[in-house]
Protein backbone atom coordinates (compact mmCIF):
# COMPACT_ATOMS: atom_id res chain seq x y z
CA UNK A 1 0.00 0.00 0.00
CA UNK A 2 2.81 2.41 0.91
CA UNK A 3 4.59 1.64 -2.36
CA UNK A 4 1.45 2.43 -4.34
CA UNK A 5 1.07 5.80 -2.61
CA UNK A 6 4.70 6.71 -3.41
CA UNK A 7 4.21 5.85 -7.07
CA UNK A 8 1.04 7.98 -7.24
CA UNK A 9 2.83 10.95 -5.65
CA UNK A 10 5.74 10.71 -8.13
CA UNK A 11 3.34 10.53 -11.08
CA UNK A 12 1.43 13.56 -9.77
CA UNK A 13 4.68 15.54 -9.44
CA UNK A 14 5.73 14.67 -13.00
CA UNK A 15 2.36 15.76 -14.36
CA UNK A 16 2.63 19.06 -12.45
CA UNK A 17 6.17 19.72 -13.75
CA UNK A 18 5.13 18.93 -17.32
CA UNK A 19 2.17 21.28 -17.07
CA UNK A 20 4.36 24.06 -15.74
CA UNK A 21 6.96 23.63 -18.49
CA UNK A 22 4.24 23.64 -21.15
CA UNK A 23 2.81 26.87 -19.74
CA UNK A 24 6.24 28.55 -19.68
CA UNK A 25 6.90 27.52 -23.29
CA UNK A 26 3.60 29.00 -24.38
CA UNK A 27 4.39 32.29 -22.63
CA UNK A 28 7.84 32.48 -24.30
CA UNK A 29 6.31 31.92 -27.73
CA UNK A 30 3.66 34.52 -27.05
CA UNK A 31 6.32 37.10 -26.14
CA UNK A 32 8.44 36.40 -29.22
CA UNK A 33 5.52 36.62 -31.64
CA UNK A 34 3.56 39.57 -30.41
CA UNK A 35 1.80 40.00 -33.73
CA UNK A 36 0.74 36.41 -34.36
CA UNK A 37 -2.67 37.04 -32.87
CA UNK A 38 -3.22 40.14 -35.05
CA UNK A 39 -4.68 40.00 -38.56
CA UNK A 40 -2.45 42.93 -39.66
CA UNK A 41 1.08 44.31 -39.17
CA UNK A 42 1.69 47.89 -38.12
CA UNK A 43 4.14 49.65 -40.44
CA UNK A 44 5.45 53.13 -41.22
CA UNK A 45 5.33 54.41 -44.78
CA UNK A 46 6.91 57.29 -46.70
CA UNK A 47 6.23 58.63 -50.20
CA UNK A 48 8.63 58.20 -53.11
CA UNK A 49 9.83 61.77 -53.60
CA UNK A 50 11.02 63.60 -56.69
CA UNK A 51 13.75 66.07 -55.81
CA UNK A 52 17.14 67.52 -56.68
CA UNK A 53 19.53 66.02 -54.15
CA UNK A 54 22.96 67.45 -53.57
CA UNK A 55 25.38 65.09 -51.90
CA UNK A 56 29.07 64.89 -51.17
CA UNK A 57 31.90 62.38 -51.26
CA UNK A 58 34.11 62.22 -48.17
CA UNK A 59 37.71 61.08 -48.75
CA UNK A 60 41.11 61.26 -47.07
CA UNK A 61 44.35 62.09 -48.87
CA UNK A 62 47.67 63.80 -48.31
CA UNK A 63 49.42 66.79 -49.82
CA UNK A 64 52.10 66.42 -52.48
CA UNK A 65 54.35 69.20 -53.79
CA UNK A 66 53.30 70.78 -57.06
CA UNK A 67 56.76 69.95 -58.44
CA UNK A 68 59.74 68.08 -57.03
CA UNK A 69 63.00 67.94 -58.98
CA UNK A 70 66.30 66.24 -58.25
CA UNK A 71 69.14 68.33 -59.67
CA UNK A 72 72.00 66.30 -61.13
CA UNK A 73 75.39 67.42 -62.42
CA UNK A 74 75.53 67.81 -66.20
CA UNK A 75 79.32 68.10 -66.21
CA UNK A 76 82.32 66.47 -64.56
CA UNK A 77 84.89 68.17 -62.36
CA UNK A 78 85.55 69.83 -59.04
CA UNK A 79 82.69 71.79 -57.47
CA UNK A 80 84.33 75.22 -57.22
CA UNK A 81 81.31 76.97 -55.65
CA UNK A 82 78.03 75.94 -54.03
CA UNK A 83 75.35 78.48 -53.13
CA UNK A 84 72.61 76.45 -51.48
CA UNK A 85 71.50 75.36 -48.01
CA UNK A 86 68.64 73.26 -46.68
CA UNK A 87 65.42 75.25 -46.45
CA UNK A 88 66.74 77.96 -48.77
CA UNK A 89 64.23 79.59 -51.13
CA UNK A 90 65.63 79.75 -54.66
CA UNK A 91 64.30 81.30 -57.86
CA UNK A 92 64.13 79.70 -61.28
CA UNK A 93 67.40 80.30 -63.15
CA UNK A 94 69.40 81.31 -60.07
CA UNK A 95 72.96 79.96 -59.90
CA UNK A 96 73.36 77.25 -57.28
CA UNK A 97 76.97 76.29 -57.96
CA UNK A 98 79.78 76.01 -60.51
CA UNK A 99 82.04 73.18 -61.67
CA UNK A 100 85.67 73.79 -62.70
CA UNK A 101 85.44 75.01 -66.31
CA UNK A 102 88.93 76.22 -67.28
CA UNK A 103 89.47 73.46 -69.84
CA UNK A 104 85.97 73.97 -71.23
CA UNK A 105 86.64 77.70 -71.68
CA UNK A 106 89.84 76.96 -73.62
CA UNK A 107 88.00 74.48 -75.84
CA UNK A 108 85.30 77.06 -76.53
CA UNK A 109 87.91 79.69 -77.52
CA UNK A 110 89.62 77.22 -79.86
CA UNK A 111 86.39 76.30 -81.63
CA UNK A 112 85.43 79.96 -81.87
CA UNK A 113 88.72 80.75 -83.65
CA UNK A 114 88.23 77.78 -85.98
CA UNK A 115 84.71 78.93 -86.90
CA UNK A 116 85.95 82.47 -87.67
CA UNK A 117 88.78 81.17 -89.92
CA UNK A 118 86.56 78.73 -91.80
CA UNK A 119 83.89 81.39 -92.30
CA UNK A 120 86.47 83.60 -94.09
CA UNK A 121 87.67 80.64 -96.18
CA UNK A 122 84.07 79.78 -97.10
CA UNK A 123 83.38 83.33 -98.27
CA UNK A 124 86.56 83.27 -100.41
CA UNK A 125 85.57 79.87 -101.88
CA UNK A 126 82.17 81.22 -102.83
CA UNK A 127 83.82 84.08 -104.77
CA UNK A 128 86.21 81.70 -106.52
CA UNK A 129 83.37 79.33 -107.36
CA UNK A 130 81.37 82.18 -108.85
CA UNK A 131 84.38 83.03 -111.06
CA UNK A 132 84.70 79.43 -112.22
CA UNK A 133 88.03 78.81 -110.47
CA UNK A 134 86.70 76.17 -108.03
CA UNK A 135 84.50 73.17 -108.63
CA UNK A 136 81.18 72.63 -106.89
CA UNK A 137 82.66 69.71 -104.95
CA UNK A 138 85.42 71.90 -103.50
CA UNK A 139 82.83 74.46 -102.37
CA UNK A 140 80.70 71.74 -100.75
CA UNK A 141 83.74 70.37 -98.90
CA UNK A 142 84.51 73.81 -97.48
CA UNK A 143 80.83 74.30 -96.54
CA UNK A 144 80.88 70.98 -94.67
CA UNK A 145 84.08 71.93 -92.84
CA UNK A 146 82.50 75.21 -91.73
CA UNK A 147 79.26 73.50 -90.61
CA UNK A 148 81.19 70.93 -88.54
CA UNK A 149 83.18 73.72 -86.88
CA UNK A 150 79.93 75.47 -85.93
CA UNK A 151 78.63 72.23 -84.41
CA UNK A 152 81.84 71.82 -82.36
CA UNK A 153 81.51 75.41 -81.18
CA UNK A 154 77.92 74.84 -80.03
CA UNK A 155 78.95 71.64 -78.22
CA UNK A 156 81.76 73.49 -76.44
CA UNK A 157 79.36 76.27 -75.48
CA UNK A 158 76.89 73.70 -74.09
CA UNK A 159 79.62 71.99 -72.05
CA UNK A 160 80.66 75.33 -70.59
CA UNK A 161 77.04 76.23 -69.76
CA UNK A 162 76.59 72.84 -68.08
CA UNK A 163 79.39 73.71 -65.68
CA UNK A 164 77.06 76.30 -64.13
CA UNK A 165 74.37 74.67 -61.95
CA UNK A 166 71.08 76.59 -62.13
CA UNK A 167 67.76 76.09 -60.41
CA UNK A 168 65.17 74.68 -62.86
CA UNK A 169 62.26 76.11 -60.83
CA UNK A 170 61.32 78.39 -57.97
CA UNK A 171 61.15 76.40 -54.77
CA UNK A 172 62.78 75.30 -51.53
CA UNK A 173 65.90 73.16 -51.09
CA UNK A 174 64.89 70.01 -49.20
CA UNK A 175 67.97 67.85 -49.76
CA UNK A 176 71.66 68.62 -50.30
CA UNK A 177 73.97 65.82 -51.44
CA UNK A 178 77.39 67.49 -52.01
CA UNK A 179 79.69 70.12 -50.53
CA UNK A 180 81.91 72.71 -52.18
CA UNK A 181 85.25 71.25 -53.28
CA UNK A 182 83.86 67.79 -54.02
CA UNK A 183 84.71 66.10 -57.30
CA UNK A 184 81.52 65.09 -59.07
CA UNK A 185 80.73 63.05 -62.14
CA UNK A 186 78.08 63.69 -64.74
CA UNK A 187 74.77 62.59 -63.26
CA UNK A 188 75.86 62.97 -59.62
CA UNK A 189 72.95 64.24 -57.45
CA UNK A 190 73.37 67.83 -56.23
CA UNK A 191 70.14 68.76 -54.43
CA UNK A 192 66.35 68.35 -54.36
CA UNK A 193 64.01 71.31 -54.87
CA UNK A 194 60.26 71.30 -54.17
CA UNK A 195 57.67 73.82 -55.26
CA UNK A 196 54.82 74.13 -52.76
CA UNK A 197 53.34 77.40 -54.02
CA UNK A 198 50.52 75.05 -54.90
CA UNK A 199 50.03 71.45 -53.79
CA UNK A 200 48.45 68.32 -55.17
CA UNK A 201 46.11 65.92 -53.40
CA UNK A 202 46.08 62.39 -54.79
CA UNK A 203 43.03 60.25 -54.04
CA UNK A 204 41.83 56.75 -54.88
CA UNK A 205 38.14 57.01 -55.77
CA UNK A 206 35.84 54.01 -56.14
CA UNK A 207 34.19 53.18 -59.44
CA UNK A 208 30.74 54.00 -58.03
CA UNK A 209 31.85 57.54 -57.20
CA UNK A 210 34.37 58.44 -59.90
CA UNK A 211 31.70 58.72 -62.60
CA UNK A 212 30.08 61.49 -60.54
CA UNK A 213 33.23 63.63 -60.80
CA UNK A 214 34.55 65.85 -63.57
CA UNK A 215 37.62 67.99 -64.09
CA UNK A 216 37.18 71.43 -62.54
CA UNK A 217 34.89 70.30 -59.70
CA UNK A 218 35.59 72.10 -56.43
CA UNK A 219 36.29 70.46 -53.07
CA UNK A 220 36.49 71.70 -49.50
CA UNK A 221 39.70 70.75 -47.69
CA UNK A 222 40.18 70.56 -43.94
CA UNK A 223 43.11 69.40 -41.85
CA UNK A 224 43.85 68.79 -38.18
CA UNK A 225 46.73 71.26 -38.46
CA UNK A 226 44.27 74.14 -38.95
CA UNK A 227 41.01 72.77 -37.48
CA UNK A 228 39.14 76.09 -37.82
CA UNK A 229 40.09 76.76 -41.45
CA UNK A 230 38.73 75.47 -44.74
CA UNK A 231 40.68 75.48 -48.00
CA UNK A 232 39.45 75.10 -51.57
CA UNK A 233 40.84 72.67 -54.14
CA UNK A 234 39.96 71.89 -57.75
CA UNK A 235 40.01 68.53 -59.56
CA UNK A 236 42.80 68.69 -62.13
CA UNK A 237 43.03 65.06 -63.24
CA UNK A 238 40.84 61.93 -63.31
CA UNK A 239 42.55 58.73 -64.41
CA UNK A 240 40.89 57.00 -67.38
CA UNK A 241 42.06 53.63 -66.02
CA UNK A 242 41.27 51.96 -62.71
CA UNK A 243 43.36 49.51 -60.71
CA UNK A 244 42.57 45.86 -59.93
CA UNK A 245 40.23 46.95 -57.12
CA UNK A 246 38.32 49.31 -59.46
CA UNK A 247 39.71 52.43 -57.83
CA UNK A 248 40.66 55.44 -59.95
CA UNK A 249 43.35 58.01 -59.22
CA UNK A 250 41.97 61.52 -58.88
CA UNK A 251 44.23 64.54 -58.43
CA UNK A 252 43.24 67.91 -56.99
CA UNK A 253 45.21 71.16 -56.96
CA UNK A 254 45.19 73.54 -54.00
CA UNK A 255 46.87 76.95 -53.81
CA UNK A 256 49.05 77.34 -50.74
CA UNK A 257 47.87 79.87 -48.21
CA UNK A 258 50.19 82.62 -46.99
CA UNK A 259 48.38 83.03 -43.66
CA UNK A 260 48.04 79.29 -43.04
CA UNK A 261 50.87 77.65 -45.03
CA UNK A 262 50.57 73.95 -45.77
CA UNK A 263 53.40 71.44 -46.09
CA UNK A 264 53.73 68.45 -48.38
CA UNK A 265 52.94 65.18 -46.63
CA UNK A 266 50.11 66.58 -44.48
CA UNK A 267 46.94 64.47 -44.27
CA UNK A 268 43.76 66.26 -45.33
CA UNK A 269 40.03 65.58 -45.39
CA UNK A 270 38.42 66.09 -48.79
CA UNK A 271 34.74 66.90 -49.26
CA UNK A 272 33.61 66.94 -52.89
CA UNK A 273 30.07 68.20 -53.36
CA UNK A 274 28.10 66.40 -56.07
CA UNK A 275 25.33 68.57 -57.45
CA UNK A 276 22.53 66.78 -59.27
CA UNK A 277 21.80 68.25 -62.67
CA UNK A 278 18.14 67.14 -62.70
CA UNK A 279 15.34 65.88 -60.50
CA UNK A 280 15.17 62.19 -59.68
CA UNK A 281 13.12 59.83 -57.53
CA UNK A 282 14.39 59.07 -54.03
CA UNK A 283 13.36 56.74 -51.20
CA UNK A 284 14.50 56.66 -47.56
CA UNK A 285 17.40 54.27 -46.99
CA UNK A 286 15.34 52.55 -44.27
CA UNK A 287 12.96 51.25 -46.95
CA UNK A 288 15.64 49.18 -48.68
CA UNK A 289 15.43 45.39 -48.46
CA UNK A 290 18.55 43.51 -49.47
CA UNK A 291 21.67 45.17 -50.88
CA UNK A 292 22.28 47.75 -53.60
CA UNK A 293 22.75 45.03 -56.21
CA UNK A 294 19.56 43.09 -55.33
CA UNK A 295 17.36 45.86 -53.97
CA UNK A 296 13.68 45.53 -53.18
CA UNK A 297 11.08 47.39 -51.13
CA UNK A 298 7.63 46.77 -49.71
CA UNK A 299 4.98 49.04 -51.19
CA UNK A 300 1.89 50.04 -49.24
CA UNK A 301 -0.97 49.44 -51.67
CA UNK A 302 -4.23 49.97 -49.87
CA UNK A 303 -4.04 47.75 -46.81
CA UNK A 304 -1.60 45.28 -48.37
CA UNK A 305 2.21 45.04 -48.45
CA UNK A 306 3.50 44.31 -51.95
CA UNK A 307 7.13 43.28 -52.48
CA UNK A 308 8.73 45.09 -55.44
CA UNK A 309 12.14 44.60 -57.07
CA UNK A 310 13.84 47.94 -57.87
CA UNK A 311 17.15 49.36 -59.09
CA UNK A 312 18.83 52.03 -56.96
CA UNK A 313 22.10 53.92 -56.74
CA UNK A 314 23.84 56.00 -54.12
CA UNK A 315 22.16 59.15 -52.85
CA UNK A 316 23.22 60.52 -49.47
CA UNK A 317 23.15 59.33 -45.86
CA UNK A 318 19.32 59.45 -45.78
CA UNK A 319 18.11 58.79 -49.32
CA UNK A 320 18.76 56.45 -52.25
CA UNK A 321 18.11 57.37 -55.86
CA UNK A 322 15.62 55.12 -57.66
CA UNK A 323 16.75 54.15 -61.14
CA UNK A 324 13.72 51.99 -61.99
CA UNK A 325 10.84 50.10 -60.41
CA UNK A 326 8.95 52.93 -58.67
CA UNK A 327 6.95 56.03 -59.56
CA UNK A 328 6.44 59.25 -57.62
CA UNK A 329 2.92 58.28 -56.49
CA UNK A 330 4.15 55.11 -54.71
CA UNK A 331 4.51 54.75 -50.97
CA UNK A 332 7.23 52.54 -49.49
CA UNK A 333 7.28 50.87 -46.09
CA UNK A 334 10.13 52.19 -43.94
CA UNK A 335 9.55 50.33 -40.64
CA UNK A 336 7.98 47.01 -39.70
CA UNK A 337 9.29 45.02 -42.66
CA UNK A 338 10.67 42.26 -40.41
CA UNK A 339 7.14 40.92 -39.87
CA UNK A 340 6.01 41.30 -43.48
CA UNK A 341 5.55 38.96 -46.37
CA UNK A 342 4.25 39.67 -49.84
CA UNK A 343 0.52 40.36 -49.74
CA UNK A 344 0.23 40.63 -45.95
CA UNK A 345 -2.37 42.98 -44.48
CA UNK A 346 -0.92 46.14 -42.97
CA UNK A 347 -1.97 49.11 -40.91
CA UNK A 348 0.09 52.06 -42.15
CA UNK A 349 1.26 55.16 -40.37
CA UNK A 350 2.71 57.92 -42.59
CA UNK A 351 5.94 59.57 -41.40
Residues 79 and 113 in one domain: yes
Q: What is the predicted pLDDT for the residue at 28?
A: 44
Q: Are 277 and 312 in contact (CB under 8 A)?
A: no
pLDDT tens by residue, 76-125: 999 999 999 999 999 999 999 999 999 999 999 999 999 999 999 999 99
pLDDT for 67 beyond 70: yes
Separation CA 73–CA 163 (nearest Å): 8
When pLDDT is cut at 50, 70 and 90, the band that residue 33 belongs to is very low
Q: Are 325 and 313 in contact (CB under 8 A)?
A: no
Q: What is the CATH number of the domain that holds 306?
A: 2.40.420.20
Residues 221 and 135 in one domain: no
Q: Are 210 and 234 in contact (CB under 8 A)?
A: no
Residues 166 and 211 in one domain: no
Q: Are 42 and 349 in contact (CB under 8 A)?
A: yes
Residues 210 and 62 in one domain: yes
End of a domain among 239, 274, 309?
274
Positive or negative CA dihedral for 225, 229, 230, 236?
Answer: negative
* Strands 346-350 and 41-47, bridge-based pairing: parallel
Asked, for residue 15, whether it belongs to a domain, the answer is no
Q: Reduced to 3 states, what is the DSSP secondary structure of residue 154? A: helix
pTM for this one? 0.60
When pLDDT is cut at 50, 70 and 90, the band that residue 34 belongs to is very low
pLDDT for 14 beyond 70: no
Asked, for residue 327, whether it belongs to a domain, the answer is yes
Which burial class, exposed, middle or buried, applies to 280 when counting CB atoms under 10 A from its CB (0-12, 13-18, 19+)?
middle
When pLDDT is cut at 50, 70 and 90, the band that residue 316 belongs to is confident
When pLDDT is cut at 50, 70 and 90, the band that residue 22 belongs to is low
DSSP 8-class letter at 139 = H
When pLDDT is cut at 50, 70 and 90, the band that residue 2 belongs to is low
Q: What is the predicted pLDDT for the residue at 11?
A: 57
Residues 298 and 269 in one domain: no
Q: What is the predicted pLDDT for the residue at 1?
A: 59
Q: What is the predicted pLDDT for the residue at 304?
A: 92
Mean pLDDT value of segment 265-276: 87
Going edge to edge, which strands form the sheet with 49-51? 49-51, 280-284, 319-324, 311-314
Mean pLDDT value of segment 289-311: 90
Q: Into how many domains does the chain fold?
A: 3
Provide the residue range defining the domain that includes 142. Answer: 69-190
pLDDT for 267 beyond 70: yes
pLDDT tens by residue, 144-167: 999 999 999 999 999 999 999 999
Q: Are 152 and 131 in contact (CB under 8 A)?
A: no
Separation CA 38–CA 128 (nearest Å): 122
Residues 147 and 173 in one domain: yes
How does DSSP assign 169-217, residue by residue?
Answer: SSEEEEEE---TT-EE-TT-EEEEEEEEEEEEEEEEEEHHHHTT--TT-
When pLDDT is cut at 50, 70 and 90, the band that residue 9 belongs to is low
Mean pLDDT value of segment 266-279: 84
Residues 201 and 62 in one domain: yes
Asked, for residue 100, whether it belongs to a domain, the answer is yes
Which burial class, exposed, middle or buried, applies to 322 when counting CB atoms under 10 A from its CB (0-12, 13-18, 19+)?
buried
Q: What is the predicted pLDDT for the residue at 32?
A: 39
Q: What is the predicted pLDDT for the residue at 68?
A: 93
When pLDDT is cut at 50, 70 and 90, the band that residue 13 belongs to is low
Distance of CA 299 to the CA centre of its chain: 40
Residues 236 and 173 in one domain: no
Mean pLDDT value of segment 231-255: 94
Residues 91 and 118 in one domain: yes
Amino acid sequence: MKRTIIILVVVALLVLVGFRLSKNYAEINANSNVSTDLNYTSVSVAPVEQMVLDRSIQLVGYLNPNKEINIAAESQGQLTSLNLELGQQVSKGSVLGTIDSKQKQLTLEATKISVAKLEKDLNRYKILYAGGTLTEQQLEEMQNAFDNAVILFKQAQKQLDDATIKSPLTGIITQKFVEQGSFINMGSPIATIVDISSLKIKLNVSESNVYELKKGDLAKITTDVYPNNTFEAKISFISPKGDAAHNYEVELEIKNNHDHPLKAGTYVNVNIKIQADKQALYIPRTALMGGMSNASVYLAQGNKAVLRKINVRTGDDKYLEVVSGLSNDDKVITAGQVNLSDGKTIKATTK
